[in-house]
Amino acid sequence: MLQLDAEIKGRPLPQSLEASIAEIELLQQSELTRKRFPACTELPLGASFAVCELDLAGVVDPQVLDTFGPWLAQRAAKRSQRAKLAARKDRRATRAAATFEQTQAYPQPQAPPPAIDAAGFVQLCEGPSPGTSPVQRPAGPPGGVSYARLTKEGLAATGPTLSGAPVGSEPPPTVELRGVWAASTKGGGAGSRTGAASGPSISDMQPLSVTKKGKKTVLNLGQRRY
């Protein structure tokens, strides 16, 4: 633009100029920047440098501005887009910092008691590892065969002999009979076989006489009521 302005005005390029800064772009030297900026080819690869873009609206002729109008409009749109992206990035950083400060203000959770660490808890849940042998429980004292179990499984007749005297091996205890029961047993008959109380026979009973106010009443004890 300055070269075209100097040709139009018929004067050499200015030694210095004063204009407003439109944008400062920070770059890093690469093969692409060497082709884009031939004046910076002497900078080594990886070097950082800045390119300053000036607004020449009040410096060059308006005819020159019209010639470079489309290119100037494209440059202005790119500057606006980069400014919006930078502002959005700053807002995100500000919100992240505020959120971090609020989080730090909250009470921090207490650490769990070091009774069982995470590895031990996982081992308890998953069981012993394949390389370790399982823990053997001590065997209980040897016991006899349960009679309830034999009865439930139908093995009482063929199972092993249980401790204690077998049923029916000893005679039942004898009971001494007294009174009417003893007389009935000694006399024999049905009373001795069934063990029922028969009492004295009717022939052994004698009539009983009772005298009351000059009257004599004879009671026959052989007639009993049930």
Residues in the chain: 226
Q: How confident is the model at residue 195 (pLDDT cuts 50, 70, 90)?
A: very low
Q: How confident is the model at residue 191 (pLDDT cuts 50, 70, 90)?
A: very low
Q: What is the pLDDT of residues 40-64, one digit of tens each?
A: 899 999 999 998 888 888 888 888 8
- DSSP H helices in the chain: 2-9, 31-36, 62-67, 69-105, 118-126, 147-153, 180-187, 190-194
Asked if residues 73 and 66 have their Cβ atoms less than 8 Å apart, the reply is no
Position with higher pLDDT, 136 vs 41: 41
Mean pLDDT (whole number) for 74-89: 89
Q: How far apart are CA 1 and CA 27, in angstroms?
A: 23
The pLDDT assigned to 2 comes to 84
pLDDT exceeds cutoff 90 at 183: no
Q: For 100, list phi and psi in degrees, rounded to 5.
A: -65, -40
CA distances from 131 to 5, 46, 52 (A): 87, 56, 70
The pLDDT assigned to 46 comes to 93
The pLDDT assigned to 109 comes to 63
Mean model confidence pLDDT for the chain:
70
The pLDDT assigned to 163 comes to 55
The pLDDT assigned to 189 comes to 47
CB atoms near residue 40 (< 10 Å): 14
Please state the pTM of the whole predicted model: 0.36
Mean pLDDT (whole number) for 123-128: 54
Residue 183, SS3? helix
Q: How confident is the model at residue 217 (pLDDT cuts 50, 70, 90)?
A: low
Asked if residues 58 and 69 have their Cβ atoms less than 8 Å apart, the reply is no
